[in-house]
Amino acid sequence: MLSRVISFDEVVKTSIETFRNTFGTDPDLATCAPGRVNLIGDHVDYNDGFVLPMALQFGTVIVGKRNGTESTCDVVTCSEGIQEGLKRAQFDSGSIAKGSPKWLNYVKGVMFHFRRPVPGFDAVIHTNVPVGSGLSSSAALEVATLTFLEQLTGQRAGSEADSAKLCQRAEHTFANVPCGIMDQLIAIGGRANHALLIDCRNLATEPIPFEAPDLAVLICNSSVKHELSSSEYPVRKKQCQEALELMGLDSYRDASLDHLKALQNASELLVRRARHVITEIQRTTEAAAALRANDFAKMGALMKESHRSLSEDFEVSCHEVDLLVEATLQAPGVIGSRITGGGFGGCTVTLVERQALADVVKHVDTIYSRKTGGKYRAKFYLAQPGNGARKLDLSEYLE
């Protein structure tokens, strides 16, 4: 059975109700930004590669208004998983420093790098993006915050690429995660019924039509929190850079499998890391071509190859996620499946025939639970390509 996710309308309405109950008035601004699932192209965005994500119809919402003060910001979250005493915090927009609660650092980081005076405001944040599952809840919060600040101040951060880089800097400096640029760019530039091919070397984007009524994109959450990703992510990034230097190249876009010969006497580990990046970049361009041609069999084959590479060469999967992919690929009607996101847990993304969807979910749920000894139960979400960040019309929700 598909897991229930509170609807986007519920997220907005709950945000408004919480704002009223907390601040005694209605908000006059509302913005949102989506989570994302990456169809293919993981751990190449910080290596000048191509990625092919799609924005989800899950998103993060911020409602708020100016509070009449010069710089006092009062922010509340009603998102799940936050301790009760850490759901509300005040800070000064003219003197921003990271600290506790941790979730607020994403907001503060964006405000710090916005580099424009921000008046005092009250705000409520809510989301239906599953947190810690590899669906980019952090970028959704960053981009929703930037969109909110632009509406609040009437000042634009710049182009889509400029905005994405601003949010990326916020995550680097205030959350201490050296992420690539993919998550922020798709949260800004997503389009309904499209995936987005992103060239991470020059940040050019190309919407790729993704309309297949007979197919479904299924997200399977392993229920394993990707706790190692924050520590292992910078390790992988450093290994990729070391391999690039040993190959005598400035960019992985100039690399071919022949260049791996330069690494064979240095480190088999670096060979595997570089091999993943080189082949994943190639797979992603081939996947975009397959989508353009509606060649979903080719797309599925590339997804399978991608998971094998991420698991064996880049070693960012884990036992439970490998079990989940294995169980999924055994189900009739599945075209392709792979881990998605940073790794070490989190979610898989699966391309499946729509008529087989219910049977696939039942099969995977049963097998995965049994093979993990009942320790983990998968959660299942049906994904559709959604739009990127935007201002919401509050008149549709206010009563």
- What amino acid positions are annotated as catalytic residues? 183
Q: Which residues contact 345 (CB under 8 A, 6 or more apart)?
A: 134, 222, 224, 225, 226, 227, 228, 229, 318, 320, 321
Calpha distance 386→43 (Å, rounded): 23
Question: At residue 235, what are phi and psi to the nearest 5 degrees?
Answer: -65, -45
Handedness of CA 390, 110, 36, 84 (dihedral sign): negative
Element (H, E) at 36: strand 29-40
Helix (H, G, I), strand (E, B) or coil at 254: helix
Task: For residue 66, give both structure tokens.
Answer: 């100016």
Cα-based angle 388, 392, 396 (whole degrees, multiple of 5): 135
* Beta strand pairing call for 379-383 and 72-77: unpaired
DSSP H helical ranges for the chain: 8-23, 104-114, 137-153, 160-174, 182-189, 229-246, 268-292, 296-312, 319-329, 357-371
Considering only CA atoms, which of 356, 309, 307 is closest in space to residue 336? 307
Backbone torsions φ then ψ of 171, nearest 5 degrees: -70, -35
Amino acid at 98: K
75: left (phi over 0), alpha (psi -120 to 50) or beta: beta
